[in-house]
Amino acid sequence: MTAKEKILNNIKGLQLPSKAQPLVPIFEGLSDDKHSFFLETLETLGVEVIISEDKAALAQLVAERAEEGPVYSSISELGYTNTLENTEMADLNLSVIEGELGVAENGAIWIEGDALTERALTAIGSHLMIVLPYQKVVWNMHEAYTYVEPRQSGYGVFISGPSKTADIEQSLVKGAHGAKSLTVFIQK
């Protein structure tokens, strides 16, 4: 008998009484203003937030940051490299990627990993910038999963803030393995 058969037979043999699957409601928001809640959450997560109605502002901002070091961008209009080798990725100072959906309750932003040249670009650059349209914010995770279809992208990730750790005496340090800082550029 294979391990699979043994495991499944063990379970079947128990003939456990069936328990009902609960319905999961999409709960209410946590205040009257979803967007200000989202922005406040990002602030407590140590995220730099820029809100702009001007499309040129993003290009200008990225151009300024490009003076500090190599930039990757999944937004082709910005004109930065989007094909990279592993070693080049490790030298990136900034990755600019697009966010699909923001979640107000926890500040998490959904990233479609396969929209990027390499999946590791969600974590490997020293700094990360996520560009998110203002309208694409939901209240909570229940609502988020009515839009997000993780199976459609082979890899996707909710990112909420810069990479961090508190493994040394519970002292919070930003920049563990992933980005040392996160900038969220919200396009109105």
Partner 1 sequence: MSTQYKNHPAGAKAFNKNPERVSWHDKALWFVREKRDKATHGIPEWEELREIAAQIKAHTLSHLDKYLLQFEEQAQANGIHVHWAKDAQEHNDIVLSILQKHNVKNVVKSKSMLTEECGLNPHLNQHDIDVVDTDLGERIVQLAKEHPSHIVLPAIHKKKEEVGELFHEHLNTEKGATDPTYLTRAAREHLRDKFLQADAAITGVNFAVAESGGFVVCTNEGNVDMGANLAPVHIACMGIEKIIPKVEHLGVFLRLLARSATGQAITTYSSHFHKPKDGKEMHIVLVDNGRTEQLSRDDFRKSLNCIRCGACMNTCPIYRRSGGHSYTYTIPGPIGSILSPGKDLKKHSSLPFASTLCGSCSDVCPVKIDIHTQLYKWRQIIMEETNYDPAKKLSMKMVGKAMGNPKLFKMISKVGNTFLKGPRVLIYNPLNTWGIKRELPVPTQTFDDWYKKNNS
State which of positions 105-164 bind partner 1 (CB under 8 A). Answer: 105-108, 113-114, 118-120, 122-124, 140-142, 144-146, 149-151, 153-164
> Looking at beta carbons only, is 3 or 56 nearer to partner 1?
3
Please, what is the Cα angle at 175 between 171 and 178, to 5 degrees? 135
Reported as type and span, the H/E element at residue 185 is strand 181-187
CA distances from 96 to 41, 66, 72, 99, 124 (A): 21, 11, 6, 10, 12
Q: Shortest approach of partner 1 to residue 123 CB, angstroms?
A: 4
How far apart, in Å, do the first and last CA atoms of the chain sit? 60
Which residue type does 26 have?
I
- Is residue 33 involved in binding partner 1 (CB under 8 A)? no
Instruction: Scan residues 40-79 and list those touching partner 1 (CB under 8 A).
Output: 41
Task: Confirm if 94 and 129 have CB atoms less than 8 A apart.
Answer: yes
* Binding track over 84-103 against partner 1, x by CB under 8 A: --xx--x------------x
- Is residue 7 involved in binding partner 1 (CB under 8 A)? yes
> Looking at beta carbons only, is 131 or 182 nearer to partner 1?
182
- Is residue 183 involved in binding partner 1 (CB under 8 A)? no
